[in-house]
Amino acid sequence: MGTPFIALLEPATLLSHWDRKLPSSGQKHPSIPRTFIDAMSVREQVYVVEQGVPQENEFDDDDGRSCHWVIYASVNIKAPVDPAIAANEDPITPLDDLATTTKRRPRRSETRSLPIGTIRLVPFPHPPHPRNGGVYVDGQLINAGEPVSAVANAAHRRPASPSSIPGTEPPDNNDADEENDENEMKEEEVVLPLTKAERARLIRTLPFCLDRATSLHDGTEPYIKLGRLAVLKEFRGRGIAGQLVRTAVEWMRQHQTAFNPSVTVIGFKNLGLGVTQPGEVPRWRGLVCCHAQEDAVKLWEKCGFEVDKGMGRWLEEGIPHVGMFMRVKL
């Protein structure tokens, strides 16, 4: 493998032609950037093929407003050889004749740039923080009102419906009677449904909205989110993921005002001014979030992220996730 190089695709508004039902190899519209197709080819291999995420759920509305980095490796790929040419090839060409020979040998290999990893940066605003114990499919909470304990022991399992999640079945009457005989039943924590304000944010999010406070987020500070970190299986263990995260973080540091909203363009009303301080325009101050798969927590920790225990634990496409934050020094 040659020295990897990284390409950046800044927010591309032309992704409206992306067909969610088709893989990256099937996207034919000429307006779709090649870099994004390469990013999706990696994501599909990791999330769709390896982890079982439905093809149509891998692409989402955030992709068009996000930055995408793709890391490429130069690899030698064997090229097909025409049997007729190969049969007529001289097995040996004397060194003295190399300067004068006009015979061309068939090319047996070629070097190509192969996309091997990707990451995306999603600017604020964001949907509400995930519910502790929530089950999300294609970004939608599907188990509101169900016990939080339903996903406490779940691991990489896709629920067909809320009732198929372990722990959501109606309790056995005998067990309930035994508990009532010993002491009063304790009310079990349930997954809270979205509030009216939160539902509105899923339709039309604002850059500066109150969210529920967690251990590492006060519920008001704008933050940037990293995600869709993926590296092809054959290239893992070489520091590729860490290189992608560091590249994205350094870009944020050098472009710290890139996503701060413009009052002139958006307007005072749509900025949600006055949520914390009257007249304050939301601006990014270095806070970065990621929704990490539990199996990838150590990787994100090595990159400087810390688990937000107050955000809880939830399932996205059947995979356990936790929230993590870091502060970029500006």
Asked if the structure places residue 95 within a domain, the reply is no
Highest mean pLDDT among 84-88, 103-107, 238-242: 238-242
Distance CA 217, CA 302 (A): 20
Asked if the structure places residue 153 within a domain, the reply is yes
Asked if the structure places residue 216 within a domain, the reply is yes
pTM (predicted TM-score): 0.77
Asked if the structure places residue 82 within a domain, the reply is no
Nearest to 296 by CA among 263, 265, 267, 322: 322
Domain that holds residue 175: 5-77+112-327
Start-to-end C-alpha separation, the chain: 35
Distance CA 160, CA 163 (A): 8
As a residue count, the chain comes to 330
Average pLDDT over residues 291-319: 97
Provide the mean pLDDT of the chain.
81
Burial class (CB in 10 A: 0-12, 13-18, 19+), 297: middle
Highest mean pLDDT among 159-173, 209-223, 253-267, 282-296: 282-296
> Which CATH number covers residue 308?
3.40.630.30
- The pLDDT assigned to 164 comes to 30
Asked if the structure places residue 42 within a domain, the reply is yes
The Cα-based distances of 197 to 89, 212, 272, 312 in angstroms read 74, 12, 13, 21
The three-state secondary structure class of 190 is: strand
Q: Residue 120 forms beta bridges with which residues?
A: 68, 227
What's the total number of domains in the chain?
1
